């Protein structure tokens, strides 16, 4: 803005697109947004929040059970959390042990598609 303040307003008025160009720009941006939604959508084949009954959906390994070095799992939000109930997940309950945990899910094929595995 200049000392008298008028040139700033004048510049904005000169650069403002006509209403038809503005509408075209809005439509272009909307199309890009909608197009990006289809580009990032995908099917979720497995999701777990470790809510009630998680023990029945998961199987703990018994590989080291016979020699007494198998660890156990517990449900915990850990030391640092925002919401204790919402942030719970499985945690190893002991140090220096062997751990294994698995869960089944329906068979699928990702032939010709990328497979993304994500955990938090």
What pLDDT, on a 0 to 100 scale, did the predictor assign at position 40?
Answer: 58
Predicted TM-score (pTM) of the model is 0.57
pLDDT band at 5 (very low <50, low <70, confident <90, very high): very low
| C-alpha to C-alpha distance for 70 and 67, rounded to whole angstroms | 8
Percent of the chain whose pLDDT exceeds 70: 66
Q: Are 105 and 46 in contact, with CB atoms under 8 Å apart? A: yes
Model confidence over 11-59: pLDDT tens digits?
333 444 445 666 666 666 666 666 555 555 678 888 988 888 999 999 9
Rounded to whole angstroms, what are the CA distances from 113 to 71, 77, 109, 118? 37, 34, 9, 16
Q: Are 119 and 47 in contact, with CB atoms under 8 Å apart? A: no
Model confidence over 59-118: pLDDT tens digits?
999 999 999 999 999 999 999 999 998 899 999 999 999 999 999 999 999 899 888 888
Q: What's the chain's average pLDDT?
A: 78
């Amino acid at each position: 803005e200049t000392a008298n303040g008028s040139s700033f307003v004048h510049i904005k008025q000169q650069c403002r697109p006509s209403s038809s160009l503005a509408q075209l720009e809005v439509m272009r941006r909307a199309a890009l947004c909608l197009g990006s939604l289809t580009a990032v959508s995908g099917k979720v084949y497995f999701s777990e929040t470790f809510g009630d009954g998680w023990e029945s959906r998961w199987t703990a390994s018994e590989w080291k059970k016979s020699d007494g070095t198998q660890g156990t799992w517990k449900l915990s939000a850990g030391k640092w959390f925002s919401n204790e109930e919402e942030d719970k997940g499985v945690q190893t309950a002991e140090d220096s042990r062997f751990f294994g945990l698995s869960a089944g899910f329906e068979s699928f094929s990702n032939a010709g598609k990328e497979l993304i595995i994500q955990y938090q």
